[in-house]
Amino acid sequence: MKLLLLEDNKKLNETITKRLKLKGYKVESFIDGAQAYEAIADGFSCFILDINVPNIDGIKILKKIREFYTEVPVIIISASVELDIIKQSYDFGCNDYLKKPFFIDELEIKVQKLCKIQDDLIQFDENSYFDFKSSNIKIGEEEIRLTKKEKLLMNLFLDNKNQILSYESIENYVWEGNFASLDSIRSLVRRLRKHLNNEYIQTIVDTGYIFKTS
């Protein structure tokens, strides 16, 4: 299982990382909110976020995570006791809130309780998988590395299998609210289709696409 840790106190960050790795977790740790924000879509099974961190705060990252993943656990760790901050954390979808200072054992217990999502291979057919852990596609023995936008589009399709996705929803999710032309969206879909070697992605004329699975 791969976890993302955002904690700007270097000593605490190192302590948490070391303890969780000893428990067998794979941990990618960050002290800068902007760097953690960029890594959201890289196939994490659990997020541990401090709120007051440089550049992009933990609440904004939590909101963005919930755009990508509705069920992946998020644990907030913060020194803040302001009720508005705690309420915001839960309103935006955190699963638990741990106030600093805390014993590392407390955090371990919460991780063990909440972060039970496995790094599954999502199977398309007998030879094709999406590796949630690495966000790459595996076809037979070949592993295909995806670009960031390809990963985001793949995650979006898998979260909405057999449902129609509009051009607008793809633009908002993959381009993170920035403008994307219809040609750019179609070009991205074409590239992903080539990786899949199958007609999973079907075009809905004048509307968008659907990822069809049995």
pLDDT confidence of residue 34: 95
Tens of pLDDT, residues 119-172:
466 777 777 788 766 778 888 788 888 888 898 888 788 777 888 999 998 988
pLDDT confidence of residue 205: 93
Alpha helices per DSSP H over 33-162: 33-38, 58-68, 83-91, 104-114, 148-159
pTM of structure:
0.61
Indicate the range of 58-62, 138-142, 173-177 predicted with least confidence: 173-177
Domains of the chain (ranges, CATH numbers): 2-114 (3.40.50.2300), 145-211 (1.10.10.10)
Residue 33 pLDDT greater than 80, yes or no: yes
Which of the pair, 198 or 171, is modelled with greater confidence? 171
Task: Centre a 10 Å sphere on the Cβ of residue 147 and count the other Cβ atoms it contains.
Answer: 11
